[in-house]
């Protein structure tokens, strides 16, 4: 992209900043940016601050990738996140995710694997989706297990914030980030 900058230093700074912000959209859901949330004088929300600590939740809304659509109608529109390697999708039925989980709904995530993996099939250990979740603020990691491997789950976290998930199943590994907000 080619920019023609004005001789006015302030305008050049504003244009450069806008370009940088556009190039660094961290995938936060629409409506959660500083401008739309009404934070005064450009202060950053907790989610935006945590994104600078390496946690970047990229929530998508719409059609799932073709490989993840089994069981959904053709026109289904869902909220989901994809693993960085593209090996797993998390369909987030409880979006937004809450801490503590809400009374009316839970933190439901359907894990859909592109491949089942082959890590020594047959043992009960290989029929699990193991999740190691690390908070962006550097707090203690937590472990979760989905019996039967990728599939339906309720995944609760002990505190709000951005969490980096490492998911392991059938000899495969992928990573993704999810944000849990206060209920």
- The pLDDT tens digits of the residues spanning 108-154 come to 999 999 998 775 545 555 689 999 999 999 899 999 999 999 999 99
Domains identified in the chain and CATH numbers: 47-182 (2.60.40)
Ordered DSSP codes for 123-182: SGGGGEEEEEEEETTS---EEEEEETSSSEEE---SSSEEEEEEEEETTEEEEEEEEEEE
- Note the pTM of the prediction, 2 decimals: 0.69
pLDDT tens digit string along 65-114? 999 999 998 888 999 999 999 999 999 998 899 999 988 889 999 999 99
């Amino acid at each position: 992209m080619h920019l023609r900058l004005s001789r006015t230093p302030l305008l050049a700074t504003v244009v450069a900043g806008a370009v940088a912000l556009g190039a660094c959209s961290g995938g936060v859901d629409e409506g959660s940016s500083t401008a739309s949330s009404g934070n005064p004088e450009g202060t950053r929300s907790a989610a935006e601050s945590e994104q600078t600590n390496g946690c970047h939740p990229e929530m998508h809304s719409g059609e799932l990738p073709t490989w993840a659509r089994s069981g959904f109608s053709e026109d289904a529109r869902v909220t989901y996140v994809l693993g960085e390697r593209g090996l797993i999708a998390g369909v987030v039925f409880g979006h937004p995710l809450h801490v503590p989980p809400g009374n009316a709904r839970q933190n439901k995530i359907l894990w859909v694997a592109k491949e089942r993996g082959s890590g020594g099939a047959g043992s009960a250990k290989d029929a699990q989706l193991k999740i190691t979740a690390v908070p962006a603020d550097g707090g203690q990691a937590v472990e979760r297990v989905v019996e039967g491997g990728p599939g339906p789950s309720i995944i609760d976290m002990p505190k709000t914030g951005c969490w980096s998930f490492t998911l392991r199943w059938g000899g495969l590994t992928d990573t993704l980030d999810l944000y849990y907000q206060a209920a």
